[in-house]
Structure 1
Amino acid sequence: MTVSPELPSVDPKAANPPSGSSPVDATASDEASVTAPGAVGTSDQHDEASGLSENHDVSSGSDDVEAVAIDKVARDASTADDAPAESVVSAVASVAGAAGGVSLVAGLVWWAAVQSTSPQVLALLIVGAVLVAIYAIVNSRDLLVWAGSRGAQRGSVATVQSVAVIGLLVVINWTANNFGGQIDLTAARRYTLADQTQKVLSQLDRDVKVVAFFPSRQEDPFTRGTKSLLNQYQKASPRITIEFVDPDVNPGAAKQYDIKNYPITIFTSGDRKEETTGLTEQDFTSALLKLSRTEKKKVYFLQGHQERDPDSSQPTGFNTISQALKRENYVVEKLSFLTSPQVPSDAAVLVIAGARARALENEVKAVSDFLDAGGHVFALLEPKQETGYEAIFEKWNITVGNDLVIDPSRNYNGDPLTPAPLPQPGHRITGSLTDVLMPGSRTITPKSAAGTDLAIASLLKTTERGWGETTMAGQAKYDEGVDVKGPVSVAVAVNRSDPTAPVTPGATPTPGATPKVPKGRIVVVGNTEFASNTLAAPVLGNRDFFVNSVNWLAEEEDLISIRAEPQSAATVVMTNQSQVLVFFTTVVLVPVSALLIGIAIWWQRR
């Protein structure tokens, strides 16, 4: 590029130098002025070059801005293209996380319910963990950002505290379960072994192995409760060992014990074996009794005089009582004096249950001889019915009344003819007895045993308002001097003492050689219906009273207690006193109390 120099303009001051200056100075000044145009041209060239450079920088900056804009547009377009895909992945991950959480919770709940890691439980836990992991990986950046927030920090502190509390509770429960006892707060003592079971376990003199064949595929809450029940047996006695076997997983063990049907529980001790398909405490305790006792005592039910049938399932039958005795390890058989003129020598107890026909003389003598020989008789009588055994009862200081027991104070459902007599303390039969119902009873009164070798006790009595009605003409009411004044007895137990025979004076007694009078025991109850199928099953006190009486008669007092109960809903039997109490409490006391409180509050606010 060619730059033409420009001629400088002549400064007037330069043409007319000031006075005092020489011509030489003027000439120098002119030379300087002549040289200046070159300098001026050079400066102009530099300025032009600078302008070109500035123009180039502006052009370059515009190109960079344009490139950044283009790149941003490209990225936005790429982001816009990827947004739908990321949205789908995030949505799928959210669904997977929710499903995983549900699966984990379901698996934990299932495990807590069944107390075992079954394949189904493991599958739920594994699937839940995988799904939650997928959610965490996809949303890792958001989770990291959230973890750094203040809310997350506060939440983490609360989570740590919650986990610590839960962990402490788990440790306490584990310690109590493995090293401590348990407290049963249920009214029915559902999680406590019955007194009878504890007695049987405490008297075990041999090791017993219990093998329970319970398939896991059939496991339900009742089966799990049964396992817990068996574990209580093991905790209660060091001689009990429990093994649970799944016959589907271990068919060899099932074949070893020759198991074809299950669930079934095998009790073994040495070469003896008992098995039960039941799942209740009654079944297990009964199996232990059969296993631990080598002798099975026989209970004979006398027949031939319209007595109750121990095999009958009819409402008036005694099948419920018969089954209860068999669970106590007794053998129940029938006896007829037509085929056997005497009571068999192996009879532990002879039961006369509601005879409606008078016994013959030879039959009465057979029963009397059995008692005199140290036998045991359990007589249940119908009201206003002669049996022929009254002379035997008198001999044992028992008076049988020809009347009907009435108790307006303590009865069932307001029916005075169905008294609920009170168990009397001081006797092994009634020591742990609950309420008993005796519909249609007659009085059984003990005589004085002074001067005799008999020990006699009343077992059940009415309240003081009860009496023995002798006439039953018109409306029942107590007639002074005619009826039997209450409280009246409806059951009596008598046993003969066992004194030594007198020793000849001056003779040296031989230890163990002194003869003893044979012992005999008898229980007489003025009612038969209490032990029928109708009442023995729902009214537990009735069944316990019968079985306790048989145990006492058979000299098996160690078995007298509350029977081991199955886990079923209990039937509430309310006497008229209980009904009156409930009525006044719920219908009168509670509403009146609420009303009085409301009035008091209103009065204060007024």
Structure 2
Amino acid sequence: MIYFVSLAAIFLALAYGTLLGRKLARGQAPSHRLRVGVLLIVSTLVVVNLLGGYIGGRLDLTPGRLYTLSSGSRTLAESLDDLVTIKVFASKELPAEVSLLERDLTDLLRDLRGAGKGRIRVIQTDPGDDIEARREARSLGVNPVQFNVVGRSELQVKEGYFGLVIQYADRSYPIPVIQRTDDLEYRIAAAIRSLTRRSKPVIGLVVAMDDWGREGRTLGLVQQELSRSYTVVPVSLDDPANLADSIHTIIVAGQPDSLLPAVHRRFVEFFRSGGSALIMTSGAPVDGRTPQVSGREPVWNELLAPFRVKVRPDLVYDLAANQIVPMPGEGGAQVLRPYPLWLRAQPASGTIVTDGVGEVSLLWSSSIDTLPGQGTTITPLLLSSRGAGLAEGSIDLDPTRNYPETDLRPRVLSVMVQPAAGDTSGVGGRLVLVGNMEFATDRYASSAAENGIFVLNAVDWLAQDEALIGIRSRDRRPPRLVFTSPVLQQGIKYANVVGIPLLIAIGGLFHLVGRRRRSRTPWQSSEASTGESA
């Protein structure tokens, strides 16, 4: 920032001196003072430019200050009770694209070290020149990787190091290779929190899904991230004793056919005693084997009645914000078509769970409805666009079918519920309800990172452990534009391509016509015009 501002100021000062010098007589005192003044200004700016790298501070003008250390990371660093050491193993000769990552890493670690006030120590070594450092890096889990280096006449493959290890007491957490920095703050903060935490809360995982464990139907990616802050244990629906008293938050994925009476009673006791739950279920489960499905009431709706929410037996289709899928076309070739039943859900603003979360991919999702009554506060989390309708009864899943364009409006796809002040409904915990039971599985979360981030944020909010939400949700990618109709999308496209150049051309034409008109007007001096008026 200082470099570019000072460089621009130098050229502006030289231009100003050159233009003003033409109006002054050479050799006179005003011309001499002008040259001396410009020389002093340029000299000062050159010194500032050279010393700019040693001046601390950062001016972050991005929305949400994405390149500034978040308040959660700062609070975590300030609350450390002992020394945390971050060892960076980086080779000197790194490719240009990796060097940019190294600069971001250096800035982040400098901010963390400053926030830690002496409780975070950063050590940087080059294992390429130090045998002991190379041995230490390998023992801590940081191994060399190969980089492509483009020379003047050849493409070379070199081996180097670019990773780090976080150490606390006798424990360590390695990041073997740093390939991106947009999520590095969260990864480092989560590792520090996991290493310095004395005990982890227990999260129960309830699964009621056909073909669980096959074809990507597993929560492996989500469980891996949750294991940094929580202890995740399976809970079976066959035995109510599995829902132990030590479990205060559960994750439910799926839709069982029914619940045993004893299990139903245990869930009622769980919610009345202040237990919280993330329930991901559907009102029209899709198994992928049949081209049609039928809507049916989820068995969880009876347990959700005190929360005043339920999952409707339908599927939401969205004609504006949907996924593009390949379909077989004529001659065996594949063509891309929009699939209205595969939604690009929009996060609601103003909630901690969706803060910084982008579009969430929901495939075959049901809508959420609210029930009359009092005692809970219901807040939407995920919404469809204004071009969404409902498919009910026997639902055809064919992407090429006709989707009615009647009763199109935003549909609620996920909500968060918490007890209101002075609640007498018998609900003591929190709830996050999503009308989709597979969006967080590895089958879909592996290609839609926002799905996993949404689930992790929801679990943190349910467990009232919200320290990492503001860090995890930071997204440096520009948001996608959502259009209510293809006509509006094409209109905005051509308005940018044709409209703006046309406006500039019309403005230039008016200026040219006015200039020619003025050039044809006879010149009159001000004295003559004054005499005529007198």
User: Under TM normalisation by the shorter chain, which class is it?
Assistant: 0.5 to 0.7
Q: How many residues align?
A: 418
- 1:553, CA displacement in angstroms? 1.0
- 1:442, CA displacement in angstroms? 1.0
For residue 212 of structure 1, the aligned residue among 88, 93, 97 is 88
What residue is the counterpart of 2:458 in the other structure? 549
Structure 1: distance between partners of 2:405 and 2:447: 31
What residue is the counterpart of 2:467 in the other structure? 558
Measured at CA, do residues 372 and 260 of structure 1 come closer, stay the same or move farther in structure 2, by a change above 3 Å?
closer
- 1:524, CA displacement in angstroms? 1.3
Matched, 1:244 2:124: yes
Matched, 1:229 2:108: yes
Structure 2: distance between partners of 1:579 and 1:404: 22
- 1:402, CA displacement in angstroms? 1.0
Matched, 1:325 2:201: no
Question: In structure 1, what residue type is equivalent to 2:402?
Answer: Q
Matched, 1:174 2:54: yes
Structure 1: distance between partners of 2:307 and 2:357: 25
What residue is the counterpart of 1:476 in the other structure? 403
What residue is the counterpart of 1:277 in the other structure? 176
Q: Which has the higher strand share?
A: 2
Structure 2: distance between partners of 1:543 and 1:166: 49
Matched, 1:301 2:225: no
Structure 2: distance between partners of 1:162 and 1:494: 62
Matched, 1:460 2:359: no
Structure 1: distance between partners of 2:371 and 2:504: 57
- 1:555, CA displacement in angstroms? 1.3
Deviations 1:33-88 (A, max 9, x none): xxxxxxxxxxxxxxxxxxxxxxxxxxxxxxxxxxxxxxxxxxxxxxxxxxxxxxxx
Deviations 1:365-393 (A, max 9, x none): 33333222322221111242454222101
What residue is the counterpart of 2:341 in the other structure? 417
Measured at CA, do residues 305 and 462 of structure 1 come closer, stay the same or move farther in structure 2, by a change above 3 Å?
closer
Question: In structure 1, what residue type is equivalent to 2:223?
Answer: S
Structure 2: distance between partners of 1:581 and 1:236: 48
Structure 2: distance between partners of 1:332 and 1:579: 45
Q: Helix, strand or coil for the counterpart of 2:268?
A: helix
What residue is the counterpart of 1:267 in the other structure? 166
The answer to whether the 8 Å contact 1:498/1:519 transfers is: no
Structure 2: distance between partners of 1:591 and 1:400: 46
What residue is the counterpart of 1:352 in the other structure? 252
The answer to whether the 8 Å contact 2:357/2:475 transfers is: no
- 1:211, CA displacement in angstroms? 2.6
Q: Flag the structure with more relative contact order, 1 or 2, with Cα contacts below 8 A and sequence separation at least 6.
A: 2
What residue is the counterpart of 2:59 in the other structure? 183
Measured at CA, do residues 537 and 163 of structure 1 come closer, stay the same or move farther in structure 2, by a change above 3 Å?
farther
- 1:268, CA displacement in angstroms? 3.6
Give the TM-score taking structure 1 as reference length. 0.58
Structure 1: distance between partners of 2:406 and 2:485: 27
Deviations 1:90-125 (A, max 9, x none): xxxxxxxxxxxxxxxxxxxxxxxxxxxxxxxxxxxx
Structure 1: distance between partners of 2:240 and 2:92: 53
- 1:283, CA displacement in angstroms? 2.8
Structure 2: distance between partners of 1:401 and 1:305: 18
What residue is the counterpart of 2:328 in the other structure? none
- 1:186, CA displacement in angstroms? 6.1
Structure 1: distance between partners of 2:507 and 2:495: 18
Larger radius of gyration: 1
Q: Helix, strand or coil for the counterpart of 1:283?
A: helix
Structure 2: distance between partners of 1:532 and 1:182: 39
Structure 1: distance between partners of 2:447 and 2:72: 20
Q: Helix, strand or coil for the counterpart of 2:467?
A: helix
User: Aligned Cα RMSD in Å?
Assistant: 4.0
- 1:531, CA displacement in angstroms? 2.0
The answer to whether the 8 Å contact 2:387/2:484 transfers is: no
Matched, 1:531 2:440: yes
Alignment of 1:394-405 (within 5 A): 394-405=305-316
Q: Which has the higher helix share?
A: 1
Q: Helix, strand or coil for the counterpart of 1:469?
A: strand
Deviations 1:303-337 (A, max 9, x none): 3542755xx7x55543332233234x223333324
Measured at CA, do residues 538 and 200 of structure 1 come closer, stay the same or move farther in structure 2, by a change above 3 Å?
farther
Q: Where do 5+ consecutive residues of structure 2 fail to align?
A: 1-37, 144-160, 179-183, 286-296, 325-337, 517-534
Measured at CA, do residues 537 and 205 of structure 1 come closer, stay the same or move farther in structure 2, by a change above 3 Å?
farther
Deviations 1:272-300 (A, max 9, x none): 54444353334312211112322212333
